[in-house]
Chain A
């Protein structure tokens, strides 16, 4: 399966083939059980170094990458430069080249600027993994979402997936649209026009300005976080109105298929984009997504950094 994925870096989902994506998901299946054993460690990345370089605050993603590296026996370092020191002083490229000089195998980078990783990746020998770049992509989030969907539904192809919220500013939405389309799902994007990109339909998704029709017959409902600053930029009048018109509650969820999965990449704004009863309800897989994140990131690190002789552990 590694032969299918021949990339040096994981910068985004756009441009990846369905076969490449499936190869990562299959590998993640093999790693999934490692985290449920009593000894949660395999020797796959012994002697390898992974640096997590997070220019934006993150708890979930950074922890997930850190655990993924550690459970593969890699040496993992976390660095969180404050953004202000890098904009005024040392640039991203300098930081990355200095880290490169210490010979890491993988650089996991989150950065606030779209395309920042595309700028540095060609200049380093280490594999670069995009842990979120600006409003562009967050590929491992889309992979763990697909992993979660596939585990529950058995497939992704042919499913209808509704993504609702701040599509305009969301790297999660972009990566998910590319991935779900590559695997043959139908994607719907829903939100007020202020939070939809100028050319949302050009991504290849169906666009809705109301949540209800977007939910009809959906197999998967993915709600995105609404950030407070959207209220300042005149994107939204109030969180109350957003919640009233675009929030997912039990009544609206009934418009989707009875077995629809409710997903959220986190962090959840309870009571804004999603009703607590739904977030914690039977259809919610929000915590399954978090668990899947470790396995998917183990698979990605394995694909990019393991010696060719290192196979993933047998699944099961």
Chain B
């Protein structure tokens, strides 16, 4: 893949008058679709989809840009309902432009930005500023999540009506747990007044003081303070009861423990309005990754044991866990290249979703349709967005994936400003080639596209 890059075949950030993808395996659970089809997009919308949809007339049109889709996957573009884009305040780690570029490269058309910025997004002004910044950047759409409490301090509620009017799609104090039962109850009641989901970072801080990693055999060996599962389970259990009592919509961020899974399953079976998300890293890594004290593997909640990983996969497969969200948490070397106890928790996610999750699909752990649903319809329901879909007439929000492309993850590949992922230098399989958001191309992988595309220039006739 080190060959010189020919002129980009598909220019990014454009709406092509006529874009045709031929013979591609399209998977869209919303349409119960999993078939090899042609897809024709005109003016940023899907005008035709189906076998033979790309007629000779269309293919020979002067304006047609044709991409051969054989061997590729076409999916609705993803929604990440949990990312940290660090702007305003910590732009040396990430900013809205680099974060959205990373999202586009990962196949996302929508990104929800968590409010633990500096200042905290607890007001209309910050929400509006973030959205304005994202619009000026272009690319995937940004949807801020507002704070539940002022300054994420867990005390006074934010102006949620204002936040929602400004464009916030949910509320969360992510990074901090709403510890007080009284505040959480009021938050659920108040947020539900405006149909905002309350997204809880479930961690009983009293049980995790100084905690560095999952409490278990590895923490015992490494002499690192443990973060016990029960600190998550206690909060999820309490919140489920509060959600039941208030009838409000409750969502658990980054579920990591098998105990929390059990509580969620029971809550759903009783019809309580609760949803949950899991991260790709909690689905694939265990606390053994921390051996050697590599701070890149420090995340919150921590990587747990294989039994938890198995429970999370099972819960995602059976719908107990609804959503896959990245918890994309960029940090610079200042926060990561240091003693483990000094390091900030978090790892990158946006650009790595496709190779990580396709690995699970390939290994038979999860059906592809369920993964796509967990990245599109399920988060759309929680945060109240229209889910990208491959239906005829829909706005083109999709990603084209080469599932067999193998490559070593070179730091220079990453669009994020940060490099904190344990996958650096690893062999990955599966690559996003093209992402469309809002009807426009927001990402195209020049190398792959150059290899794949017919030798023609934009606007040139199909052959």
Residue ranges of A at the interface with B (Cβ–Cβ < 8 Å): 14, 87, 91-93, 111, 113-116, 118-119, 133-137, 171, 174, 197-200, 202-203
Q: Tell me whether B338 and A135 are in contact (CB under 8 A).
A: no
Residue ranges of B at the interface with A (Cβ–Cβ < 8 Å): 212, 215-217, 219-226, 228, 292-293, 295, 337-342
Q: Tell me whether B217 and A135 are in contact (CB under 8 A).
A: no
Cα separation A136 to B292 with both chains bound (whole Å): 12
Q: Tell me whether A114 and B340 are in contact (CB under 8 A).
A: yes
Given contacts A93-B337, A119-B339, A198-B215, is CB(A135)–CB(B223) below 8 Å? yes
B231 to chain A, nearest CB (A): 12
Given contacts A116-B341, A118-B292, A199-B217, 11 further A-B contacts (CB under 8 A): A93-B337, A93-B338, A114-B224, A114-B293, A115-B224, A115-B340, A116-B340, A198-B228, A199-B216, A202-B216, A203-B220
Cα separation A137 to B221 with both chains bound (whole Å): 9
Given contacts A114-B340, A119-B293, is CB(A134)–CB(B223) below 8 Å? yes
Contacts of B220 in A (CB 8 A): 197-200, 202-203
Cα separation A133 to B293 with both chains bound (whole Å): 12
B377 to chain A, nearest CB (A): 39
Q: Tell me whether B223 and A171 are in contact (CB under 8 A).
A: yes
Chain B residue nearest to A135 in the complex (CB): B223
Q: Tell me whether A115 and B228 are in contact (CB under 8 A).
A: no
Given contacts A198-B215, A198-B219, is CB(A134)–CB(B338) below 8 Å? no
Cα separation A197 to B293 with both chains bound (whole Å): 18
- Of A116, A136, A137, A198, the residue contacting B216 (CB under 8 A) is A198
Contacts of A114 in B (CB 8 A): 212, 222-224, 293, 340-341
Given contacts A198-B215, A198-B216, is CB(A116)–CB(B223) below 8 Å? no
Q: Tell me whether A119 and B219 are in contact (CB under 8 A).
A: no
Chain A residue nearest to B219 in the complex (CB): A198
A234 to chain B, nearest CB (A): 10
Cα separation A135 to B223 with both chains bound (whole Å): 5
Chain B residue nearest to A91 in the complex (CB): B338
Q: Tell me whether B342 and A203 are in contact (CB under 8 A).
A: no
Contacts of A133 in B (CB 8 A): 223
Contacts of B222 in A (CB 8 A): 114-115, 136
Cα separation A255 to B340 with both chains bound (whole Å): 42
- Of A14, A115, A171, the residue contacting B339 (CB under 8 A) is A115
Could you name 9 residue pairs across A and B whose Cβ atoms are closer than 8 Å? A111-B339, A113-B340, A115-B224, A115-B340, A134-B224, A135-B225, A136-B224, A198-B215, A198-B217
Chain B residue nearest to A137 in the complex (CB): B223
Contacts of B224 in A (CB 8 A): 114-115, 134-136
A36 to chain B, nearest CB (A): 35
Cα separation A270 to B223 with both chains bound (whole Å): 26
- Of B221, B292, B337, the residue contacting A174 (CB under 8 A) is B221
Chain B residue nearest to A14 in the complex (CB): B221
**Closest 9 pairs (CB-CB, A-B):** A115-B293, A136-B223, A135-B223, A202-B217, A197-B220, A114-B223, A199-B217, A113-B339, A113-B341
